[in-house]
Amino acid sequence: MNKHPIYLAVAASALSLSSVNTLADGDHREHAEAIEEIIVSASPLDKTHSDNTRPAAVLSGDRLRQQAAATLGESLKGQPGVASASFGPGVGTPVIRGQQGNRVKVMQDNLDTMDAANASSDHANAVEALLAERIEVLRGPQTLRYGSGAIGGVINVIDNRIPGRLPEATSGSIETRYSSVNEESATVAKFEGAAGQLAWHLDGLYRHSNNVEIPGFADLHGQEHADETTYGFIDNSDSESKNLTFGSSWFFDDEDFFGLSVSRLENEYGIPAGAHVHHHEDEDHDHDEDHDEDHHDEDHHDEDDHDEDHDEDHDEDHHEHGEEDIRIDMKQTRYDLKGQFTQPFAGFDKLTMRMAYVDYEHKELEGAEIGTTYSSEGFEGRFELVHSAWMDGKARGAFGLQFADKDFEAIGEEAFIPASNTSNIGVFLVEEWDLGSWLLEMGARLENTEVDAEGHSAADFNTHSLSAAAQYRLAEGQKINIVVSQAQRAPSVEELFADGVHVATQSYELGNEQLEKETSRNIELGYKMHLPMGKDYLELDLGVFYNDIEDFIYRDNSGQMREEQPLFTYQQQGAEFKGVELSMTFPLYRNNGDAWDLQVFGDSVRAELDSGEDVPRITPRRIGAQLDYHGELMGNSFDAQLRYTNVEDQDRPGHNEEATPGYDRLDASVHYRMDMVGGELVVFLRGDNLLDEDIRNATSFLREIAPEPGRGFTLGARYTF
């Protein structure tokens, strides 16, 4: 394991506020002051980021466009406490503080995406970071407002597809970018305007990529089995995505509106070869320490050499053995309604309503044949009422109703999840008291979830969440936060009733009908500092957390085989998650418009089951630094960033899982903006993994056969008017 004593010193500070560079342009003092005006939707009370008692990061503006990538996890993995669980380049689901899947709720403007991402690790989130206006990362339990699926955190992708403001003029942006590591080309366009009291929004995206380049063998054991893997690229890792959205709102006045939108997403991507191989030559599988290596020995790709003809040679050998590439063909149509009304009736300041209907389908293609089809139709709605302030304006609050209904079905020979209906309804209440030096918050939520699966008795769960938070304002620019909460989560349909081979993940998954609801008891301490330092500000954000989860549900690698596949079973026992997150930003130099800043960051999470074994696929400790420059070049604005991250070995991989080595990652980017007639042109260049490291992420299910991309450069231009 790499040892970094400096980590312990730096870990006395935490990672979040300085990552919230929502306004990357202009004077740094103006930027620092603007941070205070950010409204975080974690609370229905329109609280600013600085007054939010819970850990949150907001990614928007140029910073979002710099970091936006093909998957949500890849776009957010540099945020405090956030990593990406990849299943090849086409899938990157977010991991928050070591938790993922059914514990991290991914939302589109405060409503669930209602895709199939949580059903399996090979399913991508049906959301596009490149089309977002901002992305909020809410770390820790957020069940109070968003339900049991948010027991680990929330990713809220907010766009303006239903306009929330009446624009004064037509505006828009067009961006195109090209990435060398997979020959990815992406084009994004967004336009907004108004006709009288009617505001409209139109956006679209097209992205295409080829196989991803890597610095060595795809298989971690490639030196031993060079004829059974690929070298320099990951086979079947290409993708194509299209997205088109139209929305409009009618404004009754400056604040009250009602609108709707419709969006169509199509996404096709490959599952890396080796992730879907059937085991026809099983030898000794008494334990999975040997299994992970053994299943690579049975891969059926054959490459005699690694020149430019390897794709053709590989395909021929691949088909000789009767195997076909596995691809995911996903399609989703989403309809949204949204309304906001101020002073709806006596005693209430605002009513907000949101509803969405999603028609989702994806097919797992085995060559030209359809292996399994997953379909989902879901409806979700929420109403929130903010009541008028009392106690001379010191107290305010809100209560809400949330309801959802989802039909899910898998059809095919390897449909491992039964057809099911999941419905839930929840009510919540949040109250806040601003007492000068103290800001107090309390809340509660009651929720009922019913899972009715074909061939099984219906499972019914009543869950509740309670939360108390306090913020003490030490002095101007210094705040201490403490949050104590209890949150519960009902098990999902796949955790309860899965039973069968899932070809895309090369596993046999077995649910557990005896699962109980999870109960997580949590405490979090945070310290935020935002102090003047010369002409700018010194920023520090430190957070430590502890989660004691009773009846924690996890996917266990049993070490056994069933129907020629490794058997994964859903188990339940207590678990503890604890960690620290830090970020500190120093203004280094200011002179004649030139500004240099240094950011130091790091995070760590440790997760252990009551049995003493480690929870699998947990993010290892990370530490790093980023140097930022803002100035002028030839009379135009110029920005540059250089970011270094050290990730330690993960030598606590969990039951029957293999350890992953650490790595050093170096990234850089430059942005040059020019005023043009009627708008602004930004030209940008980003370099990723400049050291060309062989990166195996501990959170990835395919870390041994599909590493992260090697050295790559992205060149792009964006015109805004």
pLDDT tens string 105-116 = 999 999 999 998
**Cα gap 562→391, rounded to integer Å:** 64
145-167: burial string, b at 16+ Cβ within 10 Å, e else: bbbbbbbbbbbbbbbbbbbbebe
pLDDT tier, 5 (very low <50, low <70, confident <90, very high otherwise): very low
What does the pLDDT average to over 630-652? 96
24-38, 252-266, 357-371, 475-489: least confident range: 24-38
Question: Virtual CA dihedral for 223, 227, 233, 237, nearest 10 degrees?
Answer: -120
Asked whether 138 and 76 are in contact (CB, 8 A), the reply is no
Residue pLDDT, tens place only, 195-211? 999 999 999 999 999 99
pLDDT tier, 38 (very low <50, low <70, confident <90, very high otherwise): low
Block residue for tokens 């046999």: 508
83-92, 193-202, 225-234, 604-613: least confident range: 225-234
Residue pLDDT, tens place only, 610-625? 999 999 999 999 999 9
Contacts 24+ apart (CB under 8 A), 282-291: 282/561, 282/564, 285/559, 285/560, 285/561, 285/566, 286/559, 287/559, 287/656, 288/557, 288/558, 288/559, 288/566, 288/656, 288/657, 289/656, 289/658, 291/559, 291/566, 291/656
Based on C-alpha coordinates, what's the Rg of the chain?
Answer: 25
Cα dist. 93→13, 87, 293, 377, 518 in Å?
A: 27, 9, 25, 21, 22
Check pLDDT > 80 for residue 289.
Answer: no
> Which carries the bigger pLDDT value, residue 315 or residue 76?
76
Residue pLDDT, tens place only, 660-708? 999 999 999 999 999 998 899 999 999 999 999 999 999 988 898 899 9
368-372, 385-389, 600-604: least confident range: 368-372
Give residue 275's pLDDT. 59
Q: Which two tokens stand for residue 155?
A: 């990713």
Check pLDDT > 70 for residue 322.
Answer: no
Give residue 313's pLDDT. 45
Helices (H), 282-389: 288-297, 310-320
Check pLDDT > 50 for residue 156.
Answer: yes
Give residue 533's pLDDT. 83
Report percent pLDDT > 70 for the chain: 87
Give residue 423's pLDDT. 98
Q: Residue 85: give the domain boundaries.
A: 5-720
Total domains in the chain come to 1
Give residue 222's pLDDT. 77
pLDDT tier, 220 (very low <50, low <70, confident <90, very high otherwise): confident
Residue pLDDT, tens place only, 572-605? 999 999 999 999 999 999 988 899 999 999 999 9
**Cα gap 118→135, rounded to integer Å:** 19
Asked whether 710 and 215 are in contact (CB, 8 A), the reply is yes
Residue pLDDT, tens place only, 169-198? 999 999 999 999 999 999 999 999 999 999
Q: Is 314 helix (H, G, I), strand (E, B) or coil?
A: helix
Q: How far is CA 713 from the centre of its chain?
A: 23
At 70, which CATH number?
2.40.170.20
Give residue 323's pLDDT. 60
Give residue 273's pLDDT. 74
Give residue 292's pLDDT. 41
pLDDT tier, 308 (very low <50, low <70, confident <90, very high otherwise): very low
Supply the pTM of this predicted model: 0.87
Q: What is the mean pLDDT of the chain?
A: 87
Q: Report the run of H or E that residue 278 belongs to, with start and end.
A: none
pLDDT tier, 304 (very low <50, low <70, confident <90, very high otherwise): very low
Check pLDDT > 80 for residue 316.
Answer: no
Report percent pLDDT > 90 for the chain: 73
Q: Report the run of H or E that residue 471 belongs to, with start and end.
A: strand 459-475
pLDDT tier, 278 (very low <50, low <70, confident <90, very high otherwise): very low
Q: How far is CA 346 from the centre of its chain?
A: 40
Cα dist. 311→307, 314, 323, 505 in Å?
A: 9, 5, 15, 23
Check pLDDT > 50 for residue 34.
Answer: no
pLDDT tier, 291 (very low <50, low <70, confident <90, very high otherwise): very low
Check pLDDT > 90 for residue 295.
Answer: no
What does the pLDDT average to over 88-99? 93
